[in-house]
Amino acid sequence: MSSRTRGFSRRVLSTGPEPLRKNRVRVVPRAASTRDDKEVWIQTTNVQVLLAALECGLSTTALFPSDNAALAEEWRKVGRFTPLALTDDGTVTEEDGDFYRAVGITCEVTGPDGVDDIAMMAGVEPLVVVDSSTWRIIPAENLVAKFGATDESRLFSVSETAKDAEAMFEALETGVDGVVLRTDDAAEPRELAAYLKKRGMIGGGGDGVGSLELTLAVVTRVETVGTGDRVCVDCASAFHPGEGLLVGSFATGLFLVHSECLDAEGYVNSRPFRVNAGALCSYVVTPGGKTAYLSELRAGDDVTCVNEDGHTRVMTVGRVKVEQRQMVLVEAECGEKSSPRCYKTLRRFGWSRRPGRIRGRCRCRPWMSGTGYWCICRRVRGTRG
């Protein structure tokens, strides 16, 4: 264990009798957060960067090294924010009445030995800020794996651009708990805020890791209607059984179209990255509670993956495949029996689902005597983006 680690641990455990004044530090760790919480601190010498972060809802916390400590008081007129001080020994402190409360420690990583030292802090220090200016993804993944195994510590990373911060939030899918955005460019916080909102990590408006309310619907009509442009959406990561995309002809009612992650009973091999989505003109749900036409999707775009329980995650489109195929009109009803709502979609035959069982490729049939196939629909407001 490094001397820095041992020193901070001693401060955590120290209970000396002398009263602590404002030039002394009392360590009171912040409450641990859940792994889904993401936090951003701003470190800058440009007041416009802090102002941008406040305006776009990215952060209300600013970190000031000792040589810029005077800026904390000078910038209070900009808006309400929480100033944190970074001492010369790397301790992050927050003013708490007559005391300074230590909330974390910063460490630089320049090689493998530094990563090992920081990994030993997991479960010991409440918050560790890693500055890996010379290293980026590799140490982040190693440390995320270590810190992710404990709820006693949080891991932050210093990033100098929004793109670097995005990579930190996506390391090993779970990502770091927070980022210190160190920049003097006012465009960077706005770019990072747009990314986090899109992923549902801040602002509550995205379709990141979360859930949607789905409703079972009964297929009432299946009819061949001729040929059309069928779209397959191939994503950069694999779907799991029960997952697919929400697709349909109306943004107010969308069908959960299952991915091709299961073998089709010897008919064709599985393609776990693909959803045989439907007609070119159909809507598909994208992050942020929006919809897009299938015709608009391009490689690099994001779509919202949904499973049969309504849990969501964001997936990146790797390829969009458009081919002329025989199309089928599927109608389904859901809602009260006295006034059911009818929803339609155009698609090629594909994946269907009986209650409690996922099947491979099969023909959809209208509902009859309780033995038909069911679709899963989601009703949305229909904000098209």
Distant-in-sequence, close-in-space partners of 108: CB < 8 Å, separation ≥ 6: 114, 130, 131, 132, 133
User: Is the same domain home to 282 and 341?
Assistant: yes
Looking at the DSSP bridge assignments, the partners of residue 94 are 84, 101
Instruction: Indicate the number of domains in the chain.
Output: 2
Instruction: Indicate whether 255 and 180 sit together in one domain.
Output: no
Instruction: Using the predicted structure, report yes or no on whether residue 294 has a pLDDT greater than 90.
Output: yes
* Residue 116, in any domain of the structure: yes
Residue 203 falls inside a structural domain: no
* One domain for residues 253 and 371: yes
> Is pLDDT above 90 for 86?
yes
Report the pLDDT value the prediction gives residue 299, as an integer from 0 to 100: 94
Kindly state the average pLDDT of the residues 344-353: 54
Q: Taking the model in full, what pTM does it have? A: 0.58
Quickly state the pLDDT bin for 36 (edges 50, 70, 90).
low
Task: Give me the helices (H) in the chain, please.
Answer: 3-13, 47-55, 70-74, 112-119, 137-147, 162-170, 187-198
> Which residues lie closer than 8 Å to 40 by C-beta, 6 or more apart?
53, 58, 59, 61, 165, 178, 179, 180, 181, 189, 192, 196, 202
pLDDT grade for 356, boundaries at 50, 70 and 90 = very low
Which residue range forms the structural domain that includes residue 100? 3-198
Q: Are residues 300 and 322 in the same domain?
A: yes
- Residues 229, 317: one domain? yes
pLDDT for residue 137 is more than 90: no
pLDDT at 346: 67
Domain containing residue 84: CATH number: 3.20.20
Structural domain ending residue among the three candidates 148, 178, 198:
198
Looking at the fold, whether 69 and 214 belong to one and the same domain comes out as: no
For residue 95, pLDDT over 90 is answered with: no
Same domain, 174 and 292: no
Indicate whether 314 pLDDT > 70.
Answer: yes
Domain-located, residue 371: yes
Q: What pLDDT, on a 0 to 100 scale, did the predictor assign at position 21?
A: 32
pLDDT beyond 50 at 361: no
pLDDT of residue 329: 86
Pick the last residue of a domain from 148, 177, 198.
198
- Looking at the fold, whether 216 and 283 belong to one and the same domain comes out as yes
- Residue 80 has, within 13 A of its CA and on its CB side, a CA count of 1
Least confidently predicted of 12-16, 19-23, 267-271, 309-313: 12-16
Predicted pLDDT of residue 27 = 39
Whether residue 324 is contained in a domain is answered as yes
Residues 174 and 257 in one domain: no
In this structure, the answer to whether residues 221 and 285 fall within a common structural domain is yes
> What's the pLDDT at 199?
75
Q: Which of 149, 167, 198 is the last residue of a domain?
A: 198
Asked whether residue 214 falls in the same domain as residue 156, the answer is no
Residue 206, pLDDT score: 43
Q: Is the pLDDT reported for residue 52 higher than 70?
A: yes
Q: What percent of the chain has pLDDT over 90?
A: 30
Residues 8 and 67 in one domain: yes
pLDDT in tens, 185-218: 999 999 999 888 777 676 544 445 567 778 777 7
Higher pLDDT, 291 or 24: 291
Lowest mean pLDDT among 87-91, 100-104, 251-255, 324-328: 251-255
Q: 291: which residues sit within 8 A by CB, 6+ positions away?
A: 251, 254, 283, 284, 285, 380, 382, 383, 384, 385
Q: 223: domain CATH number?
A: 2.170.16
In a domain, 265, yes or no: yes
Asked if the model's pLDDT at residue 341 lies above 80, the reply is no
Residue 204 domain-assigned (yes or no): no
26 sits in which H/E element:
strand 25-27
Measured in whole angstroms, the distance separating CA 151 from the mean position of its chain's CA atoms is 19
Q: What percent of the chain has pLDDT over 70?
A: 71
**The pLDDT of residue 79 is above 80:** yes
Residue 330 lies in a domain: yes
Question: Would you state the pLDDT for residue 162?
Answer: 94
49: three-class secondary structure by DSSP: helix
Predicted confidence (pLDDT) at residue 18 exceeds the cutoff of 80: no
Integer CA distances (angstroms), 101 to 30, 194, 357, in order? 9, 32, 54
What mean pLDDT value characterizes the chain?
75
Taking only the tens place, the pLDDT of each residue in 234-266 is 999 899 888 899 988 887 778 888 888 877 555
pLDDT, one tens digit per residue, over 142-172 is: 788 878 767 788 899 999 999 999 988 888 7
The confidence score (pLDDT) of residue 134 equals: 61
Residue 352 resides in a domain: yes
Q: What is the pLDDT of residue 265?
A: 56
